[in-house]
Structure 1
Amino acid sequence: MSEIKQDELVNEELEKTENCCETQECSEVKEESLEDVVSRLEDELKQSEDKFLRVHADFENIKKRLEKEKFMAIDYASEKFAKDLLAPLDTLEMALQSANANISAEELLPKLKEGIELTIKSFLTTFEKHNITKVATDGEFDPNVHNAVMQVDSENHESGQIVAELQKGYLLKDRLLRPSMVSIAN
């Protein structure tokens, strides 16, 4: 509470007590009541200041906690995706261990091929789960999602059409993660 407001309250109380009576007894009562008013107002001021400081401290604590939670959310945003990538990694490690088994090359090669196919399928499932999709490369060249690295002559394709995909591109929802590397027809 400001001093001006405090002075106004004291003056109001004084006016009330002055109108009461003009006798000596009343003036003693006036002085006592004036002191009481001042002490009461000082107590209210202290209580208000204390309440303000507590609310301000609570606000600062909440602000700090929310800031910390925000940074933790940013730091660990990819945790679910990382956990989902552990399954394809486990599959790759098992394929590598099976290569050390005492079996013939004729038996090992088909098993390794099958393991690699299962691992790719596992990766694609994880990507699909997290809205990562392959960039389409059939049809016209789109510079927004394709990167043309060479032009080739092709009788089967019109000029500007994609002839071959050299490296797959991927989208995360609608955002491009990596463009498809393609060759296009002259």
Structure 2
Amino acid sequence: MSEEKNDIKNEEIQEDVEVTNEEAQADEQAVENEFDLLQNELNTLKDKYARVHADFENIKKRLEREKYTAVEYANEKFAKDMVPVIDSLEGALKSVATDADKAELFDKLKEGIELTYKQFLTSLEKHGVTMVSHDEPFDPNIHNAIQSVDSEDVESGQIVQTFQTGYKYKERPLREAMVVVAN
């Protein structure tokens, strides 16, 4: 009977080993399937990363080109607004070449220069360039006092006379106004 028990135990062990082998194979297959899924997901993510990186590089290059173009042509509007001023000056030069009465020619030339001057100032103002007003109180940021004089008409520290007009671009001085200040 002991042999029978051994045989039964051996059969049970054999069945347990077979079940364990089957379970191990099933587990191994599950691990392989999961590995394949993860490998596929990794490949998909690598592909997405490569595409996004390439898109980013393309956008970066395009923005760099656009920035370069914007800087290169930043003054285009200003230049376009100066062309009519040049046309006006050309017209004035052509009018001098005519055989008209000198007094009449002088009056027309003066009028043309005044209109061209106004046109020029309007174009500058359109782009943020303004004259420093002659009526402004003295400000060392936009005025350069080149002389001081005694004056009974103007308070001390006020502008008596402007030698050279100053200009500002928006709020920054382009050129200080040269002025005479009262003592």
TM-score w.r.t. the length of structure 2 is 0.78
Unaligned runs of 5+ in 1: 1-20
2:38 to 21, 25, 41: 41
Aligned to 2:111: 114
**Which whole-Å deviations, capped at 9, do the CAs of 1:42-65 have from their partners, x for residues lacking one?**
222111111111111111211222
The one-letter code sitting in structure 1 at the alignment partner of 2:60 is: K
In structure 1, the partner of 2:170 is 173
CA–CA distance in structure 2, aligned partners of residues 152 and 118 of structure 1: 35
Structure 2 residue aligned with 1:88: 85
Corresponding residue number in structure 1 for 2:155 = 158
Residue in 1 that maps onto 2:73: 76
The Cα shift of 1:27 comes to 4.7
- Are positions 1:65 and 2:62 aligned together? yes
**Which amino acid letter does the alignment assign opposite residue 51 of structure 1?**
K
How many residue pairs get aligned? The number is: 166
Sequence identity (%): 54
2:177 is the alignment partner of 1:143: no
1:98 aligned partner? 95
Give the Cα separation in 1 of the matches to 2:34 and 2:150: 99
TM-superposed CA distance for 1:177, in Å, is: 1.9
Any unmatched runs of 5+ in structure 2? 1-17
Residue type at the aligned position of 1:136? S
Q: d(CA) in 2 for partners of 1:89 and 1:22? A: 99
Which residue of structure 2 aligns with residue 51 of structure 1? 48
| Equivalent-residue separation in structure 2 for 1:173 and 1:112 (angstroms) | 32
Distance 1:90 1:122 in 2: 11
Return the match for 2:123 from 126, 134, 142. 126
TM-score w.r.t. structure 1 length? 0.77
Which 10-residue stretch deviates more, 60-69 or 112-121? 60-69
